[in-house]
């Protein structure tokens, strides 16, 4: 199975221009699953709630989801894409899952980071897994990585691949995702962005790049640079994530003892 990440450098607020730039690059891509960053087309550093509401969209009716649906159909691929979602009176930091057959679903970020807590409601979707034919994929967003329960919940639900749209500014995640993959015996695809945002007199944010694909044994199959947009596709054997045996005596999920774990 061919999977990958698209590490982008979006221009804040220029949603259609950012979508168009991605669309041009996808024309030459042979891939069955591609992950894009958190807030892939809006940018990240919102100034106020009014700006958040202006750039948030309903899912799946909004123009960003519709554009992604068209790209998925045209290129016969599945896409996982982060966007700000508007639902009723709430705004969520969300990711959509779309494919050649249409809209599969969405996930709302469980663990909000920093100023996201001022602008977005905590996600209420719960962690979800989708069967896309060749693999079962789960989604978590950026700071969810900081909580081991996020990836573990997806693994227990049968995810082969953890898709991880991100706008990372802390330095730790790329190496930590090696552990998340290893401790759950899953593939992980982290799609981060690059560049810098300095808006509204707030402290500037510099995004660290280093998008990556990691194997169930913790091997980094591909890692992007820290400062350059990159679209990378690698070939994986999904069955590697379905073998949870560590040795002849230990099987990862079977040997768990939840009764002794705190909640």
Angle separating helix axes 15-26 and 63-75, nearest 10 degrees: 10
Check 31, 32, 38, 212 and give the catalytic one.
38
Q: Is 109 a known active-site residue?
A: yes
Phi and psi, residue 116, nearest 5°: -55, -30
Detail the DSSP E strand segments found in the chain: 2-7, 33-35, 78-87, 90-99, 102-108, 129-131, 136-139, 161-165, 187-191, 194-197, 205-208, 212-214, 220-223, 230-235, 245-247, 250-251
The alpha helices in 42-147, defined as continuous H runs, are: 49-55, 63-75, 116-119
Check 31, 68, 91, 142 and give the catalytic one.
142
Q: Is 14 a known active-site residue?
A: no
Q: Is 50 a known active-site residue?
A: no
Strand pairing report for 102-108 and 90-99: antiparallel
Question: Please, are residues 213 and 245 in contact by the beta-carbon 8 Å criterion?
Answer: no
Strand pairing report for 129-131 and 136-139: antiparallel
CA distance 29 to 113: 32
Check 51, 68, 86, 109 and give the catalytic one.
109
Residues 6+ apart with CB under 8 A from 78: 32, 33, 34, 72, 97, 98, 99, 100, 104, 132, 137
Helix (H, G, I), strand (E, B) or coil at 150: helix
83 closest CA partner among 55, 102, 54: 55
Residues recognised as catalytic:
38, 109, 142
């Amino acid at each position: 199975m061919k999977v990958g990440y698209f590490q982008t450098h979006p221009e804040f607020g220029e949603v259609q221009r950012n979508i168009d730039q991605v669309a041009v690059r996808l024309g030459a891509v042979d891939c069955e699953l591609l992950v894009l960053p958190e807030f892939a087309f809006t940018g990240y550093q919102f100034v106020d709630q009014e700006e958040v509401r202006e750039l948030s969209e309903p899912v799946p009716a909004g123009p960003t989801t519709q554009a992604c649906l068209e790209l998925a159909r045209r290129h016969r691929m599945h896409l996982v894409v982060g966007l700000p979602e508007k639902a009723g009176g709430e705004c969520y930091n969300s990711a959509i899952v779309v494919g050649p057959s249409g809209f599969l679903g969405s996930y709302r970020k469980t663990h909000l980071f920093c100023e996201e807590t001022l602008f977005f409601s905590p996600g209420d979707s719960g962690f979800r897994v989708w069967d896309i034919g060749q693999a079962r994929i789960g989604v978590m967003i950026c700071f969810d990585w900081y909580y081991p329960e996020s990836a573990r919940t997806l693994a227990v639900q049968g995810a082969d691949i953890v898709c991880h749209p991100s706008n990372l500014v802390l330095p730790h995640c790329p190496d930590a995702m090696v552990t998340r993959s290893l401790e759950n015996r899953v593939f992980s695809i982290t799609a981060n962005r690059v560049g810098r945002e300095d808006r509204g007199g707030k402290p500037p944010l510099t995004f660290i790049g280093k998008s990556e694909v990691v194997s169930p044994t913790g091997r980094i199959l591909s890692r992007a640079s820290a400062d350059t947009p990159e679209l990378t596709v690698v070939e994986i054997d999904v069955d590697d994530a379905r073998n949870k045996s560590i040795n002849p005596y230990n099987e990862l999920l079977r040997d768990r003892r939840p009764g002794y774990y705190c909640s």
